[in-house]
Chain A
């Protein structure tokens, strides 16, 4: 079988599995599938930022929260249709993405990691204290969306999320191959060399942050509708850390890796729950071992298998 043939088979099998999965599961299974899709969107947004643009963020829970609260408030208080609310959530996160990009223009690596972390902690604290709008510690109820047809069951909502993810993955895949994507890639390799070749660094980095923020915000918006109630505790430092780790564990090179990362983060608690207190310890050890033995993420397993 040729390379391209093998690739097509993988895509076809994955596609069929994604479409058929809910048929073999019940309510709880559908909920887990939906969660995996929500996480996969965040992993995709980190793919743009870390994988393509070579930046870093351990503050994605901040964008996620902005998207979730913006869209929930738009639906609740202003009666905006669900799809528009999702876009508003994404847009709000994108604006903040562009703002967070400002320190990224001057610092990189560890400094940027800490700056994004600080951003997420600030967002969480502000949402918590701003009780009149966000409900503070009581949380904010979010209605289930209707989209012509009602999306009341997780079964139908899963297909909506799947379509959303595939659309976003298509956009990101095209971005990777576009002039902007290649410019970001060049900036990642060597900022100075790329700038000498006429690439506007500031504009591209801000764009990458805004797009990444947008995708994370969209994910937050659909997450709120899935859970039905927003609480600021969800958007903690732990969430930001989990997001970055799942993106790296899934693999940053391909959109497919985002799917694996999302599945990893959604499934790990289910599998590890039986170990009770040891749950998070095992999760942490898994992270360390993954970095040691699978530095390019789960997506590289396929490559190893083909070679081996």
Chain B
């Protein structure tokens, strides 16, 4: 029983990292109608930038961690202005192809600059487990959960109480109406990309100590985030979070009790099953389209 509990807690921690990336995907998708296949690679490149701060400039670990979010914001804003914004009037498949192009650029750029070997990434959290009764829980898992939940809480406050957050919600509901009400849609798109990339870089530095830092590290994480987001409904932020937590926990239990070989394939099985049975996700209702 205690083993299962440990698996559940570490699954929740893993799931909360997926959830951060899924939140980035959903925020970008809701405000600009683009599915950003490069989101994971942007997180990876941002994590490498933090790593460069750590090793090159000898910044303390805590400062480098705090730098993750602003680095991501700047990165996201630049990408949006240079590559995505000019495509806003082209057919939707074009921005999809452009993000695939960006995926390739960032993926291989990291390999080009930092080489193809994995690096050890320092963790803020101590490796010693906490013992509660007969359950041993790693501090890293609890730390990851705490950071993720903190980011989600801040995000909630942002969307609920700031003018810009409300403008973003309005735009995602009806872009044209929001524009007519005086919302600067271009700035909403810029904010979405900045915010999303900031969050995804935080996800990157949270997972880097677990998986090592290398140019491949975010590819499967991105696919898991997609799985979780679809499970919860791609249009709902809380849905995506719950979906990703479920994916993290179930994946951990599946790997421990059923099959490690198919641990990764399992997430894709979820995608296919959910899309066939309940495409709107478990927690949202599909909006009808008018003709």
Contact = CB atoms under 8 A, between A and B. Distances in A.
Contacts of A237: 219
B102 A248 contact: no
A180 interface: no
A115 B29 CA distance: 16
Contacts of A115: 271-272, 275
Given A129-B262, A241-B103, 6 more contacts: A107-B279, A114-B226, A118-B227, A241-B100, A292-B83, A292-B86
Contacts of B35: 110, 113-114
Contact of B96 (A107, A113, A283): A113
Given A106-B275, A118-B271, A287 B223 contact: no
Contact of B111 (A50, A56, A107, A277): A277
Contacts of B107: 280
A192 interface: yes
Contact of B87 (A50, A113, A277, A292): A292
A173 interface: no
Main secondary structure, interface of B, reads helix
A244 B100 contact: yes
Contact of B223 (A121, A245, A291): A121
Given A110-B234, A241-B100, A278-B112, A285 B271 contact: no
A202 interface: no
B103 A295 contact: no
A302 to B, nearest CB: 19
A118 B225 CA distance: 12
A245 B279 contact: no
Contacts of B103: 241, 284
Q: Which 10 A-B pairs have the closest CB atoms?
A: A287-B101, A284-B104, A284-B105, A280-B108, A118-B268, A118-B271, A107-B279, A288-B101, A277-B112, A110-B35
25 contacts: A56-B93, A103-B276, A106-B276, A107-B275, A110-B35, A110-B234, A111-B234, A111-B275, A118-B268, A119-B268, A122-B272, A125-B262, A125-B265, A192-B291, A244-B100, A245-B100, A248-B93, A248-B97, A278-B112, A280-B104, A281-B108, A281-B109, A283-B104, A288-B98, A292-B86
B287 to A, nearest CB: 13
Contacts of A248: 93-94, 97
A244 B104 CA distance: 14
A94 B105 CA distance: 33
A285 B98 CA distance: 9
Nearest to A248: B97
A114 B109 CA distance: 25
Contacts of A227: none
Interface of A: 50, 56, 58, 102-103, 106-107, 109-111, 113-115, 117-119, 121-122, 125-126, 129, 190, 192-193, 237, 241, 244-245, 248-249, 277-281, 283-288, 291-292, 295
A126 B104 CA distance: 25
B105 A288 contact: yes
Contacts of A129: 261-262
B118 interface: no
Interface string B63-87: 0000000000000000000010011
A198 to B, nearest CB: 16
B95 interface: yes
Main secondary structure, interface of A, reads helix
Contact of B97 (A119, A193, A283, A291): A291
B278 to A, nearest CB: 9
Contacts of A121: 223, 265, 268
B133 interface: no
B150 interface: no
Given A114-B271, A248-B93, A291-B90, A281 B223 contact: no
Interface string B109-121: 1011000000000
Interface string B184-223: 0000000000000000000000000000000000010001
A19 to B, nearest CB: 32
Contacts of B19: none
A110 B29 contact: yes
B230 interface: yes
A117 B90 CA distance: 23
Contacts of B111: 277
A109 B286 CA distance: 14
Q: Which of A103, A114, A241 has the most CB of B within 10 A?
A: A114
B94 A291 contact: yes
Given A122-B269, A283-B104, A288 B275 contact: no
Contacts of A106: 275-276, 279
A187 to B, nearest CB: 13
B94 to A, nearest CB: 5
Contacts of B92: 109
Given A106-B276, A107-B279, A281-B108, A291 B95 contact: yes
Contacts of A249: 97
Given A121-B268, A281-B109, A295 B276 contact: no
A235 to B, nearest CB: 14
